[in-house]
Structure 1
Amino acid sequence: MILQTLKSYWQQALRYRYVPSDIPILLRNVLILLLAGKLFYGSFAVSVFILPLSVPWFFHEKKKKELKDNHDLGIQFKDAMMAVSTAQKAGYSVENSFLEAKHDMKLLYGKHAPICKELEIIHQGINNNISVEKMIRKLGRKSGNRDISEFAGVFAVAKRSGGNMTETIERCVDVIGKRMEVENEIDVIISAKRMEAQIMEMVPFGIMAYVGLTNPGFFDVLYGNVLGVFVMTVCLLIYIAAYLMIEKIVTIEI
């Protein structure tokens, strides 16, 4: 499992594109690894040898952040399509309905929300004579959100066949809403376990820090010799494996 995970992180590294929001994640990971090096090996200098772990950990944390952002975008997209449906009922065309939805989303989420930026891109595409369905399909591919991609397919078929767009959008939004309800129910059920998992991930560091502060020299027998380094390295690898298993258990996708 660990080898497969590292392989996937290596593949992500080859496709990596820098964004400013990555800096805090990387700096936090480096800081934690420096502290881990001090606790496991008794020296910040030795931490240099485990700093390469910050690379796969960075991609792991980045993937978690992307999943959360993707989930939030899906929720905002559902609300935007509800606004589109409401605008169509009021007599707006499909294109103008998306413009009205953009105004509603600015009031609901703020102008810097991801959905507002995406609706602005769709609006610009419409002004450049690009069809709405193409813009939504492009958004689905770019975001990787399954709900948006499926909506784009249904929307395109309905528009080409001259179907009832208002009813089609309402049905799609209803399906997306039900799926999100299931996700929320699962999230509520495992939220306590996820919190327990986060606490357990910190327990080993907490115990080592507590013992090291209250009993100075207690771990000295494990520092500065080959056997001690070997034992602490095995413990660190076991911790990493346990961390990955915990993250896999508490991550459930619908």
Structure 2
Amino acid sequence: MGKGRNLGSYGEIIGKWNDLVPIIQGVALTAVVAFLFYRSVLGIAVGVLIIPFWLKLKSDEKKAMQQAKIAAEFKEYMMLIVTGLQAGYSLERAIRQSEEELKKIFPKDSVIGPHIHIMNQKIGMNVQLERAFDEFARSLKLEEAVSLAEIISFAKRSGGDYGKHIRDTALKIEDNLSIRQEIETITTEKRLELKVMCVMPMAILAYISITSESFIAPLYGNLIGIGLMTMCLVAYGICIILGRKIIDIKV
């Protein structure tokens, strides 16, 4: 029990630290911007405005990674259900059995595992399968999961060989998720290039500040210079946003 509590406390500490990291990065970035663009403590007032921008970028990045993980896990879970249906299991049994199989694929830190467990508990308490699956799908906030839930609901109501309808739909969704994963893989290199390109302007400015300070000295300590540097900073931010949108390919 004590060991379990210690592990839980450790996990909470790690979670809180992960939440603090973007804030610390934002504060550090504020200091860098204040120095490179304004060479003034007053520049921190402008730099502080970067913190919400930075936190938004990191939040979007975290959400994208989370959604990619959810999509990957759901794809595996969905195909496990299809395998169960092909083996002749009922939909209820296939869903229940797939939870155990998914634990073998993702033994730790599964995102959808707890959601699946809750769904199976609801089914065990005689909640309609289609309702439980719909609630599960919506909790994931994944379009493909919601689509499958709608097909399951329709197939259960219409009767007939609903297993075939579910299998066919699941295979189509699996193709869509596979394409999305391929795009993620293809754009990984471009995402890395974008990060390098985002750092380069500040790196160049830092290099010039160190090696040829007199060259950019007129940009500091006067209204014209402050205005120019502010415009450059705004343009810099816009370019980062545009770059992220360009490589954010939706399927």
TM-score under structure 1 length normalisation: 0.81
Match of 1:61 among 58, 69, 76: 58
Match of 1:94 among 82, 91, 108: 91
CA distance in 1, matches of 2:120, 2:103: 14
Whether 1:104 and 2:98 are equivalent positions in the alignment is no
CA distance in 2, matches of 1:111, 1:187: 23
Question: What one-letter code is carried by the residue in structure 2 that aligns with 1:196?
Answer: E
The aligned residue for residue 169 of structure 1 is 166
How many angstroms does 1:250 deviate by? Answer: 1.0
Match of 1:196 among 190, 193, 209: 193
CA distance in 2, matches of 1:66, 1:148: 17
Name stretches of at least 5 consecutive residues in structure 2 with no aligned partner: 1-14
CA distance in 2, matches of 1:101, 1:44: 58
Flag the 1:67–1:161 CA change in 2: closer, same or farther, 3 A.
Answer: same
How many angstroms does 1:91 deviate by? Answer: 4.6
Flag the 1:195–1:221 CA change in 2: closer, same or farther, 3 A.
Answer: same
Question: What one-letter code is carried by the residue in structure 1 that aligns with 2:78?
Answer: M
Contact kept? 1:80, 1:102, Cα under 8 Å: yes
How many angstroms does 1:246 deviate by? Answer: 0.9
Deviations 1:216-254 (A, max 9, x none): 555433223222211110110111111111111111101
CA distance in 2, matches of 1:95, 1:27: 47
Contact kept? 2:82, 2:170, Cα under 8 Å: no
Deviations 1:168-200 (A, max 9, x none): 332122111221233244345444433332221
Flag the 1:118–1:76 CA change in 2: closer, same or farther, 3 A.
Answer: same
Whether 1:181 and 2:178 are equivalent positions in the alignment is yes
Contact kept? 2:26, 2:55, Cα under 8 Å: yes
Whether 1:153 and 2:158 are equivalent positions in the alignment is no
CA distance in 2, matches of 1:89, 1:66: 34
CA distance in 1, matches of 2:164, 2:236: 52
The aligned residue for residue 75 of structure 1 is 72
Name stretches of at least 5 consecutive residues in structure 1 with no aligned partner: 1-18
TM-score under structure 2 length normalisation: 0.82
CA distance in 1, matches of 2:228, 2:164: 64
How many angstroms does 1:67 deviate by? Answer: 2.6
SS in 2 for 1:114: coil
How many angstroms does 1:155 deviate by? Answer: 0.8
The aligned residue for residue 29 of structure 1 is 26
Contact kept? 1:158, 1:165, Cα under 8 Å: yes
Question: What one-letter code is carried by the residue in structure 2 that aligns with 1:71?
Answer: A
Deviations 1:141-179 (A, max 9, x none): 333211011111001111122243432332122111221
Whether 1:129 and 2:150 are equivalent positions in the alignment is no
CA distance in 1, matches of 2:80, 2:180: 22
CA distance in 1, matches of 2:127, 2:136: 13
Flag the 1:175–1:230 CA change in 2: closer, same or farther, 3 A.
Answer: same
CA distance in 1, matches of 2:100, 2:47: 49
Contact kept? 1:125, 1:135, Cα under 8 Å: yes
How many angstroms does 1:35 deviate by? Answer: 1.6
CA distance in 2, matches of 1:78, 1:184: 10
Contact kept? 1:137, 1:152, Cα under 8 Å: yes
CA distance in 2, matches of 1:230, 1:134: 58
CA distance in 2, matches of 1:35, 1:158: 58
Contact kept? 2:34, 2:43, Cα under 8 Å: yes
The aligned residue for residue 7 of structure 1 is none
Flag the 1:94–1:184 CA change in 2: closer, same or farther, 3 A.
Answer: closer
Percent identity over paired residues: 26
Report how many aligned residue pairs link the two structures: 236
The aligned residue for residue 5 of structure 2 is none
Whether 1:235 and 2:232 are equivalent positions in the alignment is yes
